[in-house]
Structure formats: C-alpha cells, structure tokens
Structure 1
Amino acid sequence: MIRVGIVDDHAMVRTGLKQFLSEHVDVRVTGEGSNGADALALARKGEVDVLLMDISMPDQSGVDALKAIKARFPALSVLILSGFPEAHYAATLLRQGASGYLNKECDPEEIIRAIRTVSMGRKYISQAVATLLAEGMAGGLERLPHELLSERELQVFLRLAKGETVGHMAEAIFLSVKTVSTYRTRVLEKLKLTSNSDLTYYAMTHGLIQ
C-alpha cells in the first residue's frame, strides 16, 4: 500500500485527488494539508510514502517547503503537481530533490503512474519534462524574461495578465495591497513593460494564458 499525502491550498483539488486515488487499491491517502507548514508536518509524522504537493501556496511556498523537507527527510518522495507549465520550474525543482513534476492539466492516469514510480525511489519524468531536460543538455535557448521571475512574481504576473485587480489578488493570496503592488512593479521592470495591458499581451503571445 502506497501512503500518499496531498498538499494544495484548494480544497476542491484535494477532494478531487482523494476521490480519484481512492479508486486504486494500492494507494491510500493518509494525510492532507493546505500550505508549506502542513507539508512539513506530514513529512515529520512519517505516515506518508509520497507527498503530492502544489508549489503555489499562501504562506510558505511549495518551493521552500520542498527544500525544508528534503533537508530533513531526504528519502521521502515529493511529487510536484502544479498549475504552472513545466518550463517554469520542473528542471529547478528536480535538481532540488523533487521526485517528479506534473502539470495539473495532465491525464489523471499519469498522476497514478507517477505516484507508483516515485514510491519505489525513482524519478518520474514526463514527456514534457524530458523534452525540456534534453533541450537544456543540448544548450537550449536563452531563457525568456518571464522564466527569470521568482515564484511569487510569476504568480502575480499571471493573475494581473488575466485581469485580476491588485486589491482582489492581495485578499486571495493573503498579502497586503502594498506588497502586491511592489511585486507588480518588479514584474513590469523585469519584463520591461509599462502596463497591465502589456502584461496580458505578453502572456498571451507566450502561451501563458488563453
């Protein structure tokens, strides 16, 4: 039996994953959480074999949580399930100890394949990630400006690009309006843009939003 912990700040996502995983006799969900602190707590309890974790969470990010978990529990398999495309974080997180990286738009059956693979102490490399790694080994292309953004900057960028206001975003991700505005300024500077409309156009032309 593979014991799985699910960490995602959206209750609906956790519920859907639990329901899906319950259909497989060799997997059992033994814990869940909504933030980085919960992820570390699940690891500390020692009741999970695989931690299925998002990287975009309100307090401690999944990236920081991964670093903390691998520092304390290096043998624990951590499988990242993120809404961000593989190009943004996959290679970096695999280097930092993640056992695999999946996009939330992947086929559900790929999630169960990945869980079974990493539970045996192996890495799970999806086709999309394999292509990225191959391009990187071959020299690849120069990184695009948005690929240099921090996790939080990228989160703010994508929300702004979709038309979300600073005030609504601040409430949604538990930051002050001033802090979100600071992130917006940094994003505009790094991307060499001047307005939210520019952000939307950039995101659409690079396939980051539809």
Structure 2
Amino acid sequence: MIRVGIVDDHAVVRAGLRQFLADHVDLRVSGEAADGAQAMELVRQGETDVLLMDLSMPDQSGVDAMQAIKKRYPDLAVLILSGFPEAHYAANLLRLGASGYLNKECEPEEIVRAIRQVSLGRKYISQGVAALLAEGVAGGLERPPHELLSEREFQVFLRLAKGETVGAMAEAMFLSVKTVSTYRTRVLEKLKLTSNSDLTYYALTNGLIQ
C-alpha cells in the first residue's frame, strides 16, 4: 500500500485527486494539506510515502516548501503536480530534489504511474520533460534566461516577481538584506531587466507566476 499525501491550495482539486486515487487498490490517501506549513505537518506525522504537491502556495512558494520538506525528510518522494508548464520548472525542481514533475493537463493514469514509480525511490520523467532534458544536453535549443539562474537566484526572482520586499525575503530566507540585494542585482543583470516591475512582467509572460 502506497500512502499518498495531497498538497494543493484548492479544496476541489484535493477532493478530485482523493476520489480518483481511491479507485486504485494499492494507493491510499494519508492526508491533505493546503499550504507549506500544513504539508510539513502532514509529513511530520510519518504516514506518507509520496507527497503529491502543487507549486501554488498561499503562504510561500512551492519551491521553498519543497526544499524545506526535502531538507528535513531527504528520503521522502515528492512528486510535483503543477499547472505551470514543464519547460519553466521541471529541470530546476528535479535538480532541487523533486522525484518527478507532472503538468495538471496530463492524463490521470499518468499520475498513478508516477506515484508508483517514485514510491520505489526512482525518478519519474514524463516524455515532455525527457525531451526538454535531452534538448538541454544536446544544446539543440537556446535556453531562456531564467533557466540560467542558480537555484537561489531563481527563488529570489520568483519572490520579487510576486511583489515581496527585500526585507521580507531576507527574513523568510534567513539571509541578510545585503545578500538578498546582491541576488536581486544578479537576477536583473542575467535577465537584462532594470526593475521589479520588469521581473513581474517577465514572470507573467513566461508562465512562471499566475
């Protein structure tokens, strides 16, 4: 029996996933969470083998929530199920420790296949993600500027794009204001932008935030 924890800020999505997974005899929903804090509490209870997790979080970014969970529970399989396009997030999240990445437009049975695979300690790479990774290795396509950011720069970029202040970021990320400001400068330089509003526009037009 594979115990699955569902993390999504929409109750209707959680209910739909719970109902769908209940039709499979080898899967059992062990609990639900609507944000990062609840997800951490769910995992802390020790009743979850696979965390099926959205990136949209009301209290923090899904990237930050996943990293916090993986830091405390490195062996836990975290399968990302997101509405964001694979091209923008999949490679970064796999590098950060996600066991797999699925777009919410995927076929429902693919979710089940992915859960079963990551529960065995393996990575789940969809055909779309495999193609993206192959293109990246072969250098067949020019990578968009945001994919050249480091993991920390990418986190700062997303927070700035959502309107978070440098001071709030420093407190949330346990960094000094000076360090966050340095990351901001690097992000602007790498993306060839000049202001926080430019970052927001870039993130919106590239499907990185909603």
**TM (normalized to structure 1)?**
0.73
Percentage identity across paired residues of the two chains: 70
The residue type equivalent to 2:61 in the other structure is S
Q: Which piece of structure 1 moves more, 140-149 or 52-61?
A: 140-149
Task: Tell me the CA shift for residue 184 of structure 1.
Answer: 4.2
Query: Could you say if the C-alpha distance between residues 152 and 13 of structure 1 is closer, same or farther in structure 2, counting changes exceeding 3 Å?
Result: farther
- In structure 1, what is the equivalent of residue 171 of structure 2? none
- Does 1:187 find its partner at 2:200? yes
Structure 1 residues 35, 207: CA separation in 2 closer, same or farther (over 3 Å shift)? closer
Instruction: Provide the aligned length of Structure 1 versus Structure 2.
Output: 170
Change beyond 3 A, Cα 1:207–1:31:
closer
Residue aligning to 2:78: 78
Query: CA distance change for structure 1 residues 146 and 97 in 2, over 3 Å: closer, same or farther?
Result: closer
One-letter amino acid of the structure 2 residue matched with residue 186 of structure 1: L
**8 Å Cα contact 2:36-2:65 kept in structure 1:** yes
Q: Which moved more, 1:137-146 or 1:113-122?
A: 137-146
| 1:121-174 Cα shifts (integer Å, max 9, x gaps) | 100000000001101111243333576774456779xxxxxxxxxxxxxxxxxx
CA displacement at 1:40 relative to structure 2:
1.2
SS of 2:37's partner is helix
Is 2:53 the counterpart of 1:53? yes
- Contact kept? 2:53, 2:81, Cα under 8 Å: yes
Partners in 2 of 1:26 and 1:98 — Cα distance?
22
Alpha-carbon separation, structure 1, partners of 2:13 and 2:160: 23
Equivalences for residues 13-24 of structure 1 within 5 A = 13-24=13-24
Matched with 1:178 is none
- Equivalent position of 2:188 in the other structure: none
Q: What residue ranges of structure 1 are gaps of 5+ in the alignment? A: 157-181, 192-198
Q: What is the one-letter code of the residue matched to 2:199? A: R
Residue 141 of structure 2: SS of its match in structure 1? coil
Matching residue of 1:100: 100
CA deviations 1:3-38 (Å, max 9, x no partner) are 000000001100000000000000000110001111
Question: Mind listing any 5+ residue stretches in structure 2 that lack a counterpart?
Answer: 164-194
- SS for the counterpart of 1:122 is coil
Structure 2 counterpart SS, 1:4: strand
TM-score normalised by length of structure 2 = 0.73
**Secondary structure, aligned partner of 2:143:** coil
